[in-house]
Amino acid sequence: MTDSSLAVIVLAAGQGTRMRSSRPKILHELAGIPLVAHVLATARELDAAHVLTVVRHERDVVSELVLEMFPSTVIIEQDELPGTGRAVQLAVSQLPEGFSGRVVVLSADVPLLDAATVLGLLASHDASGNALTMISAFFNDPTGGGRVVRGTDGSFEAIVEHRDATEEQLLLTEVNAGVYVFDVAALRSVLESIGSSNSQNEMYLTDAAAGIRAAGGQIEAVPVSDHWLVAGINDRAQLSAVAAELNARIIRGHQVAGVTVRDPATTWIDLAVTIGEDAEILPGTQLLRATSIASGAIIGPDTTLVDTEVGENAVVKRTDATLSVIGARASVGPFAYLRPGTYLGEDGKIGTFVETKNSTIGAGSKVPHLSYIGDTAVGEQSNIGAGTITANYDGVKKSRTEVGSHVRSGSHNVFVAPVRIGDGAYTGAGTVVRKDVPAGALAISVAPQRNMTGWVETNRAGSAAAEAAAAADEG
């Protein structure tokens, strides 16, 4: 149920210069999802009546993604005045005049924070009657974080940004997580007084805490025991560290749900991946984006699947597959490359050094090794011989090859599209199929073999081959 007394502001305006990237920091991905999308997912779970996202750097591309992920959010464009204080000031000004509830502020670069933690913060805020309640955490290395300063009795006194902290304050290890719950009336009363007299010439939202405290408002900083929940990302090293932690949690979740992961240290699983019970994930495997693994399947080792569906009890080893479907009990690899549009039916096989693209291989059909199958439909229970190539491109357009059911093609065939091979047909070794093959027919295109006796002695006189041939003749 929507909470009419709750508004959420997502701060997504920063440039993220420490990422050293042409892409906005919050669009860098974590477990297959942009950083800001993690935060928007948390905001959605809070069921707030109002969700506002503040953008500035690369505002068009950021706004497009935000609205795609959360269509009901209101986009607020920050002006040239920098700082989180200015961002919140602009967002609050867009709330309805009669809104009198609480305002949650989330940062788009703090992706692991979950809704349960925020809801707990809201409960604490309401129970204590605070004007401001925030999350803090203790870090072994608090460098870069704003320090939470407490009095001798442990009560909140101030937040001091790292750049503005004294040497004594820099020794503090409790850091402001940038997650706040404000009473909207208290927040409105201090926003206009926030200045930019600091080393960065920015309007800090943390200055709102000082204003609220000076006005007698009650403030509480609530530490979380799991500091990863509030780990911010400012550079690629931090992105990597948070990615490793999230990946470990994702893997642990699958293990608890009945999936065997042989080597978590070399396995990467995106957040949207689903895996059935009794599936087994072998070392060196990456399961990315919306990949789905059914129960009993064995994936790996050394396999990357992107947006790929794998059926029950299938085996996929040393394979790279994207936007593909692998049927139940099918076998793929080793060293197979499944490009988008590949569909392998139940009990089918795509074997060693086989590349497929935009092709359907029917139930029980096999492409065992050393082949390229592109823009092709293969029926059921057919066998494609080693070294077969579907020549699907004539230099201008792509054409399709159709192979019927129960077909047996010889080794080293070329099917020159467009062409159809009928049900039950055979093709001989080395055949180039340029015309349709009727059902039940044998297609061959091999010229009679011709042996030119004495060719080596005449054309390669004095070579090792000529000497070997002469010795054989003498024998």
- Which residues have a catalytic role annotated? 369
- In the DSSP assignment, the letter for residue 437 is B
Token pair, residue 261, equals 């992961």
State the Cα–Cα distance between residues 186 and 292, nearest whole angstrom. Answer: 48
**For residue 2, what are the CA distances in angstroms to 47, 70, 101, 103, 184?**
5, 15, 13, 14, 18
Angle at 245 between CA 243 and CA 248, to 5 degrees: 105
The position carrying tokens 């940004």 is 161
- Residue-wise burial string across 149-180, b where 16 or more C-beta atoms lie within 10 A, e elsewhere: beeeeeebbbbbbeeebeeebeebebbbbbbb
Three-state SS at 430: coil
State the Cα–Cα distance between residues 328 and 344, nearest whole angstrom. Answer: 9
| Residues listed for the chain | 475
E strands along 387-461, which residues?
389-391, 401-403, 408-409, 414-416, 419-421, 426-427, 432-433, 442-443
User: Do the beta carbons of residue 156 and residue 174 sit within 8 Å?
Assistant: no
E strands along 224-342, which residues?
260-261, 268-269, 274-275, 280-281, 286-288, 292-293, 298-299, 304-306, 309-310, 315-316, 319-322, 325-326, 331-332, 336-338
State the Cα–Cα distance between residues 373 and 409, nearest whole angstrom. Answer: 13
Q: Which of 144, 136, 210 is nearest to 175 (CA)?
A: 136
Phi, psi at 123, each rounded to 5°: -65, -40
Three-state SS at 3: strand
**For residue 255, what are the CA distances in angstroms to 229, 275, 278, 284, 317?**
21, 10, 10, 17, 20
Q: Which residues 6+ apart lie within 8 Å of 142 measured at CB?
A: 162, 172, 173, 174, 175
Phi-psi region of 84 (alpha: psi -120 to 50; beta: other; left: phi over 0): alpha
Token pair, residue 334, equals 């080793």
